[in-house]
Structure 1
Amino acid sequence: MTINPLSQQVPFTTKDGSTIRSILDRTNAPVQNQSLAEATVPVGQPTERHYHKLSEEFYFILEGTGTMEIDGAEQTVSPGDAILIPPGAWHQITATQTLRFLCCCAPPYSHEDTYFSDR
């Protein structure tokens, strides 16, 4: 059995600029096919627009509000919203109030699967 308390996970900054605490992933559990993290984006800040070739992502908004952009379509998001980000979809989230959300990736998140337009 694997149980990882969020309070014991050390935050780090991903390539897109969000602050992440990995809840369950390959670095802290015997995970094979997915990862779960808590992400925080400060008020007024966007993540860097990017895509993942392999990972399908779910965001689940816990706190705050923002604007989610996926492949050019924008929509306001708030607590209780679940967002599907398909593999290969360009995306960016901007916080209008500090955002805290869960991010699930399958296969698990990796820096190597994060691509930017200028790289």
Structure 2
Amino acid sequence: MPSKPISAANAEHYTWGNNCDGWYLVRTPELSIIEESMPPGTSEVRHHHVCARQFFFVLEGEFTMEIERHEFTLRAGEGIEVSPGQAHQAINRSASLVRIIVTSQPPSHGDRVEN
């Protein structure tokens, strides 16, 4: 089956955390690429992944990523890598919506351990 263009408009949608949204752009046993949106004041629970290596890329807004108790503030066009085993937490401390792309290899769902 040939590939087709995909976006949040036609991708499989899910919700997570406190009013956050996600869309599966690529979902295979080897790779996961998702677009996520985080309203102002939202965050996820600190956790780590046993196997998954992740890359978070900011499309819109100001995004805080806490990795191993160190905070990094990222803006549109910036990204950060999280290695397997590193405790991390995505946070939107801003007053605006944040949109990010999260790439996980292998996929992170089912590989999460809360810290």
Give the alignment's TM-score, normalised by structure 1.
0.83
C-alpha distance in structure 2 between counterparts of 1:40 and 1:58, whole Å:
15
Q: How much has 1:85 moved relative to structure 2?
A: 0.6
Q: How much has 1:3 moved relative to structure 2?
A: 2.3
Give secondary structure in 2 for the equivalent of 1:11: strand
Deviations 1:47-78 (A, max 9, x none): 11111111000011000112210011112111
User: Paired residue for 1:2?
Assistant: 3
Deviations 1:20-62 (A, max 9, x none): 1000103xxxxx4211110111111111111111100001100
Q: Which of residues 105, 112, 115 in structure 2 aligns to 1:114? A: 112
Q: How much has 1:4 moved relative to structure 2?
A: 4.5
Q: Percent identity of the aligned residues?
A: 26
**Unaligned segments of structure 2, at least 5 residues:** none
Over the aligned positions, Cα root-mean-square deviation in angstroms equals 1.6
User: Paired residue for 1:19?
Assistant: 21
User: Paired residue for 2:30?
Assistant: 33
Give secondary structure in 1 for the equivalent of 2:113: coil
Partners of 1:41 and 1:47 within 8 A in 2: no
Structure with the higher fraction of residues in strand conformation: 2
The one-letter code sitting in structure 1 at the alignment partner of 2:15 is T
**Unaligned segments of structure 1, at least 5 residues:** 27-31
C-alpha distance in structure 2 between counterparts of 1:51 and 1:9, whole Å:
26
Partners of 1:68 and 1:92 within 8 A in 2: yes
Task: Spell out structure 1 runs of 4+ moving beyond 4 A.
Answer: none
Give the alignment's TM-score, normalised by structure 2.
0.86
Partners of 1:59 and 1:103 within 8 A in 2: yes
User: Paired residue for 2:76?
Assistant: 79
Structure with the higher fraction of residues in helix conformation: 1
